[in-house]
Amino acid sequence: MIPTAKCLGQRSGFIKRSADELARFTKMAWNLDALSVPYKPYHLLDFTDQNTIAGCKTMSDRAVGGYSTASLDYVPADPATNTPAHARFHGSISTKLPQNWKIQRTGYAAFRNQDRGLWLFGRLYWDVDPYDYLALRVKSDGRRYKINIQTDSIVESDIHQHRLFTHHHRIPHSSTSTSTSPDATSYSSEQGEAVPAALADFAPETLSSLSAYTHTTPLPPTQTQPAGKPC
């Protein structure tokens, strides 16, 4: 199938995405990046950029009649407290069942990035083949969260799910951690940088989406703040 000019015009940013990807691949080929191990982080979602938050969407059990809520807000930098710009994920979890008798369980809230759209050669993915792990910079209330990763696989609905443990599960105050592995390996920001374990035993070549969510028994409203640039 060959898209018409009218079809391309209706797809916002199609030409820009194609140009950006072609420029990126050209730069990689010119610098022979594929022949060496990358030494710089590859930022997937930069929450200091307000456009990144605008490109995400929230989800909750309200889609099936539940009562949980989820919001993702952009928080500008505050020089007075030396706080960088970040995204604030907050809401409430309710296990109250809707009137629909088919729904037997509720109680979840999440956010994820929007699909990256199309470019000249099909769907647009993040190429993470040269990288060993996925790191997230978060400031959490200590609850248990989960990360869903969707890759370019034979079954498009396949989801790789990992637990996101912060420094502590239950703490009276927030803690900032860098979580990098599905086995709850985390490092406090005050402990300096460390070399984390690989995300998993497999190394997906491309990623199409990332999402984070929480589900639990009825508790007070939750919030977690992705701080800075997860890479």
Q: Which CATH number do you get for residue 128? A: 2.60.120.260
User: Looking at the structure, do residues 59 and 167 belong to the same domain, yes or no?
Assistant: yes
Averaged pLDDT of the chain: 72
Question: How many domains does the chain contain in total?
Answer: 2
**What's the pLDDT at 214?**
65
Residue 188: pLDDT band with limits 50, 70, 90:
very low
Query: How far, CA to CA in Å, does 144 sit from each of 82, 123, 195, 216?
Result: 27, 32, 23, 9
- In angstroms, the CA 47 to CA 158 distance is 26
- Give 162's strand partners: 147
Residue 6: pLDDT band with limits 50, 70, 90:
low
Tokens of 6: 């009218």
**Residue 127: other Cβ atoms inside 10 A:** 16
Query: Is the pTM here over 0.75, yes or no?
Result: no
User: Looking at the structure, do residues 30 and 52 belong to the same domain, yes or no?
Assistant: no
User: Looking at the structure, do residues 140 and 204 belong to the same domain, yes or no?
Assistant: yes
Residue entry with tokens 């792990």: 133
Range of the domain at 22: 1-36
